[in-house]
Each structure stands twice: as C-alpha cells, then as structure tokens.
Chain A
Amino acid sequence: MRKLFTLIFKEVRVTFRDPGAVVLMLVVPLALTLAVSAAFGGGQVTIEALPVLVLNHDAGDIGGYLMTAFDSAAVEGMVNATLVEDERAARAAVESDAAVALVIIPPDFSEQVARAGDDQEAAAVTVDIYASPLRPIGVSVVRSIVVSFVERAGMTAQGVRLVLGDLVAAGHLAPDDTAGMTVVGERLGARVETLEMSGVRPAVEVISVTGRAFDWLNYFAPSMAILFLMFAATGGGRTLLAERQGGTLSRLLVSPTSATLILVGKMSGVAVAGLLQVAVLWGATSLTGADWGEPLPVLIALVLLVISATGLGAVIAAWARSEAQAGALGTTLVLAASALSGNFLPRMNLPIWVQTVSLAFPNGWGLELFTRIQAGATLAGVLPLLGWLALLTVIYYVIAAVGFRRQLV
C-alpha cells in the first residue's frame, strides 16, 4: 500500500509541477468558462437596443401605428426605433451596420391591410426590410415584430369587413352608408384594443423543470471541465509510454514492485490528479455563479467520470506504440468525442444519432448526467446513467488490461 501511495503521489506531483499541464488542466477551462459567462451576460443571451430605422410612405393611418409596435411593452428595451425621412441615408446606415434594418412601409400599406382576406382582391401584405446581413438574429427580431403587427392589423380589418357585411346583409346598415360603416369600424377597432389590453388573450403559465431558464454558464462549466479532464487523463496515460521509451519503466519493472502495482499506481495517480482538477474547476466556476446541481450526485458523477476518462487514457497507453502516437491518438479521440457529445454546443441540438454515437465516450455520458442533475435529479434518479458509465469504464479497463499484458509480457 505504501508503494501504491508513493506512485500516486509522485504522479500527482509531476503533473502539477508542469506549468503547461496546469495551464491546460485549469487555466484554459476556467478562461473559457469565464469567456462564456462574459459572452452570454452571466448566462442568458440578451438582445437589447437594436437600432432600427422606419420609413413610412403609407398614405393611410395604419403605417403610423407600426412605431407603437416597436415601443410596446412586449419588446421593451429590445428595439430602439427611429422614424426617418431620408431613405438614402438610412440605407447607408444599414450598409455600415449602424442600424440593424430599415423597415419601409409601402404607400398602399393601409389599403393592402384593408383588403386582406377579401376574396376578390386579396393579396399578400408586404413590408420591405433592408437588413444588415451581419446581424441576422437582430433582423429576425425586427421581422417578427413587423409580422406580428401586420397580422393583427390584417385580422382586425378582416373582422371589421365580415361584421359590416353581416350588418348590411341583415339590413342594419345600408350598403352605401359609408359614415355608418366608419363609425362601426372605429368602434370595433377600439373595442378589440380594449379587450386585448384587458387581458382577454389566453395566458401561458411557464413551468421550468429546473426552476430557471437555460443558462449557458451552467451548461459550459461542467462541459469544459469534462473536456479538459479528458485531455489530462489521456495525456496522463501517455506518460507511461514516455517512461517506457525513457527506460525508467524497465527499471521499475525489475524492482520488487509488481508490474500490476506499477500500472495501478500510475493510473491511480492520473485519476487523483484528475479528481483534483475537476474539484478545482467545480469550486472555481461555482464562485462565478455556475450551478452544477446537488452536491452528492455531482460528486459521484465526477468521480466516475474521472475513473472512466483515466480508463480511456489507459486504453491509449496500452495500445499505442510510442508517446507521439499516444499523444496524437489521445487528442484526436478527445476532440472527436467533444464534437459529437456537445461540449461546444448544447447537446440536445445535435441529431439523435450523433448523441447516441457520443455515448461511446465519457463526454457523452458526462453531459447527459449533468443535464439530469441540473434538472433536479437526485442520485437515485441518475443511477441508471451512472450504471451505464460504469459499464463503459469496465470495458475500457478490460481493453487496456489486454493491451498492457501484451506490452509487458
């Protein structure tokens, strides 16, 4: 046991004495997590104060109401709309990316809206948007506001036309009673507005399973920890090959210490270093506001992930022929696994088959685990996932054992 601890301690000490290793294990994942935190404003994507220009050519009144749509409570703070008259200057502003978009209301806009739904004269109601291609997300926000406004205007116009038609058909209004129709139309429009403001629209109660909205920091903190744990663990296995090439392994093997103990000591050292790594990252990112979930399932998940990642490192060390080959293979596997598992982009957005393939690696299981844990799953709730990860780990170590037996016999 003393020899085992000596080997472990030596491995950990060598690892943490190497500034390069410390950079890759701790500094880079922390820096990336902080970058995400800064990029996503502490966790959420924010769209604010989009500069939008509005050019109103409408001969009627409806076009003028579009400005109120941009100022409405629903989009408060998101859009900063300005009415302009100089189209050329406005287009130049969009071209220089000083404005997200120029919304051009056509001269017959009110007329188009009034005719919307009329079987005889129906046509698409079209608003032109001259947009900056450098801000597609902002443009889609502007577009949705415009569409929402025009839809509402079109439906109201259709409603008024139908009611007037019914009143005329029932004889309550003369077909040529324009004044009467105007009164009814205005009353209807005002009544619709009053009804909408009084909350007649259905409400939506949003219940989040996690009690909060999606948070990029919460996703990225464990994701980066897993990714760089994989780098460290696969790199740790490489040191075994370095020892073999350097001749120190053969010296160890002729000592009274058994080969098995040497291997176990070495890989345990890699695992302990990995545990220290993830513990530091867990603590440090938690201080920046990342919420990993309930401590107990997080701890168990991290321990199993470290052992699994070390197992993959052992597989590489057992089957690679040289340190360089192990380095290349390790980095390749880690990066491929990270791409397939969703270390860089939320996993749930990847095709299902890609998510399935990623379960051949600790990364995939790690992200599945933390998704569940952050959703409030207890230890019992993630036991099946932990079981599968444990099975994968056993497979890794069996493959590694076969390879080491081949190497060392």
Chain B
Amino acid sequence: MRHILAIVRSDFLREFAAPSALIFFLVLPLIFTATVSAGLSGMMGGADTPTEITIPVSVVFQDSGPLVDVFVAALQANRLEIRPVTSIPQDGFALTIPEHFVQQVLHGAPTTLTLRVDGNDNRSVAVQQAVDAAIRQFGTAGAIALAGTEELALHAPFQTEVEQTAFAAQLLVDVITVLEASPVGTQTTWATYTTDEALATNTQQASAGQLVTWVQITLLATSAVLVNERVNGTLQRLVVTPAKRATILTGKLVARLLLGLLQMTILFLSGILLFNVSWGQDLSAVVAVSLAFALAVTGLGLLLATLVKTPGQAGSATTGLAMFLAAIGGAWWPLEITPPLYQQVVQVFPTTWAMRAYTRILAQGAGVQALWLELSVLLGFALFFFTLGVLRFNKMAVK
C-alpha cells in the first residue's frame, strides 16, 4: 500500500507540474461545455434560455393591412423574428408575402409565399416548420372564414363584394384570436423517478457530454504514461526495486483513475456552480456511474498501452480514440436523432452506456437501483479491458 501511494503521489505531482495541466483539466472542458450548450440552444432552443431563441427572417411585404399583421403575429408566435425589408437580402432567411395575399386567402384562391433558406444553415428546418405552422393556423382560419361567409350568404346574400370580404376578414380575425383567448395547452408530465419536473436542459446535456469526452482523454492517457515510462526506461527501473510488478502497475492505474475522478468531481461542481446543472437527488447514482465509467476507460487505457509502441503513438491514439468514442457514443449529439440500427451498434462502446446512465440521472432522476443495467455493463467493460490489458502487459514484461 505504501508503494502504491508513493507511485500515486509521484504521478500526481508530475501531472500538475506544468500549468497547462489545469487548462486541459478544467479550462478547456468548461469552454467546450459553454460553447456546445450555446450551440445546442441555438439549434433547438431550451428550457434554460431566459427568452426563447428566435431566428431572424427578413420579410418582403407585397401586401399589407391588419390581416397581414395577424399573419405576422402567427409567425412571431412560432419563434421567428420578423425584419421588414424592401428587397430580399443576399444572406439569411427571407420570406416574401405576395400581392393580394389576404384577398386570395379570403376568396379561397391559390396563393404562394416564397421562403428563401440557406441549405448550409441547419436552422432551415426550424424556419420552414415555423412558417408552415403559421400558414396552417392562418390557412385554417381562412378556410373557416370562407365557409362561414358562404353559409351566411346562403341565408342572407351580401349586398356587395366589399361587404362580403369585410365579413370574412372579421370572421378570420375572430377565429384566429381564439388561440390567444383559449390557448391550447399540453400538460406534459415526464416519467421520472423524482418529483422534480425539470427536464434535462441543453446545458445539462452538454455538461454530461463534455465531462465524458474530457475525462476519457485523461483516463486513456494511461497508455501514454505507461508507454513513456517503458520507452524512457523508468518502468524497468521500477521493476527491479523491491516493489512487485503488480504493485507498480496498480499504483500507476490507481493514480490515473484518481486523476480522472478528481477531474470528474471538479467538472461536476463547475457544472453545478457555473451552468446550474442539476444532477438529480441521488448522489450515489452519480458516484456509482462515474466510478464504473472511470474503471472501464482506465482499463481501456491499459489495453491501449500494450498496443502502441511510442509516446507519440499513444498520444495520437488517446486523442483520436477519446474523440471518436465520445462522438459515436452520444456525448456530442443525442442518440435519439440517430437511426435505430446506429443506436443498436454503438452499444458496444462504454461511452454509450455512460451517456445513457448520465442522461437517465439528469432527465429521469434515476437512482442506483434503476441504473443496474448500465452499471453492470460498464463494470463488465472494466473487467474485460483490465483482464486483457494485464495479460498483455505481463506478456510484454516477460519479453
């Protein structure tokens, strides 16, 4: 135990000897969390934005009047920031409301709005959906106004077309204002384990994803540490000391594991203090998942150390593998939006199970018992990687 602690202490001192360690440990993960969170909010909006994120759309008005204003209000209610312009600008989203738009709607005649989107802007879909929603509301109100006008005309024909159109216009306004007077509500209750109704926000999702990404880099760097020692000859010197080989390896691995857990703790606390991340009410679930994941990835780092030959290779493999596993396992984008086959295939990676567990803690308030499957799989990964890694490491040492 004394030898293990000595090795742990030595590795910790070496790790934090350079100030840049703090940048990797803390600063970069926080920068990533903030920007990814901002990016996710920009893409999807979120419960943690004090005001709804709106998408600016330039609008050319070839028609005007109170009913056009009603239509614009419907667009604004669907998260669009309307910017009146006289001509279509070169960049950005642009909508043209054609001439006689309202007249056409009130008479049931075909009319077409033109929406210019940028195929390189992933908000194009959101803009299209918002315009479709506003048109659906306005169009339905228009159809009701038209039907109502026709019905009334059956009983008492209008004196003039102007009178008929005025009636239809007023009916359209009265119909569409029902959306304000009696707003449609969907009361959403989330299937959670706690009474806390807060859903995991974009910042929380980003926080979990970035935590997994950066801690993976730290823990997979086990490979670089071991390879460095082997190449520099210090590992061989340690082996000839009275400390057993197993003790030395354990010390190295424990040091790395503790570093990873320390980083996790700092990132958890930073997330809570800086980004208001709520990690649920069951701290033991967070601890259990973090420990299981850290064990799995440290084991993978050990295995990686037996597969690479030089520190440069170890460094490249660490960065590359950490980023790949993070991306594919749901740390960078939610697996919900991926095809079903993809969601099945990525279950062979530990990151997937860690993200699943953290998401369930954040979104459902799941406790340790509810996470038995995720914990079992992560510990299974740890056992597999450590077993294979130790066997290969011993074989290399024998040679």
Q: Which residues of A contact B (CB under 8 A)?
A: 18-21, 23-24, 27-28, 31-32, 35-36, 38-41, 45-47, 91, 94-95, 115-117, 119, 122-139, 143-144, 146-148, 150-152, 154-160, 162-163, 166-167, 170, 172, 184, 187-188, 191-192, 195-196, 199-216, 218-219, 231, 324-325, 327-329, 331-332, 335-336, 339-340, 342, 344-346, 348-351, 354, 371, 374-375
Q: Which residues of B contact A127 (CB under 8 A)?
A: 185-187
Would you call the interface of chain A mostly helix, strand, loop, or mixed?
A: helix
Does the CB pair A202–B117 fall under 8 Å?
no
User: Given A127-B185, A213-B125, A345-B39, do A23 and B119 touch, yes or no (CB 8 Å)?
Assistant: no
* Cα(A331)–Cα(B35), bound, Å: 18
Scoring B residues 103 to 118 as 1 if CB is less than 8 Å from chain A, else 0, what string do you get?
Answer: 0110010111111111
* Cα(A191)–Cα(B147), bound, Å: 6
User: Is B84 interfacial (CB 8 A cutoff)?
Assistant: no
Would you call the interface of chain B mostly helix, strand, loop, or mixed?
A: helix
* Cα(A47)–Cα(B143), bound, Å: 30
* Cα(A256)–Cα(B6), bound, Å: 51
* Cα(A19)–Cα(B309), bound, Å: 10
Supply 29 A–B pairs (Cβ within 8 Å), ascending by A: A18-B310, A20-B316, A32-B323, A41-B338, A129-B186, A131-B189, A133-B191, A133-B363, A137-B334, A154-B184, A159-B175, A163-B152, A167-B152, A167-B155, A188-B144, A191-B151, A202-B135, A203-B112, A203-B113, A204-B112, A204-B131, A205-B115, A209-B117, A209-B118, A332-B23, A335-B28, A342-B39, A348-B120, A350-B35
Q: Which residues of B contact A208 (CB under 8 A)?
A: 116-119, 124
Closest Cβ of chain B: how far from A408's Cβ, in Å? 25
Checking B117, B200, B333 against A39 with a beta-carbon cut-off of 8 angstroms, the contacting residue is B333
Q: Which residues of A contact B125 (CB under 8 A)?
A: 45, 213-214
Checking A124, A172, A212 against B182 with a beta-carbon cut-off of 8 angstroms, the contacting residue is A124
User: Given A35-B324, A123-B182, do A349 and B116 touch, yes or no (CB 8 Å)?
Assistant: no
Indicate the member of B142, B151, B171, B317 with the most A CB atoms within 10 Å: B151
Q: Which residues of B contact A163 (CB under 8 A)?
A: 148, 151-152, 171
Does the CB pair B108–A200 fall under 8 Å?
yes
* Cα(A28)–Cα(B313), bound, Å: 13
User: Given A150-B184, A209-B119, A219-B122, do A39 and B342 touch, yes or no (CB 8 Å)?
Assistant: yes
- Pick the 6 closest A-B CB pairs, nearest first: A349-B42, A201-B139, A210-B119, A20-B313, A345-B39, A328-B20
Does the CB pair A195–B108 fall under 8 Å?
yes
Does the CB pair A203–B141 fall under 8 Å?
no
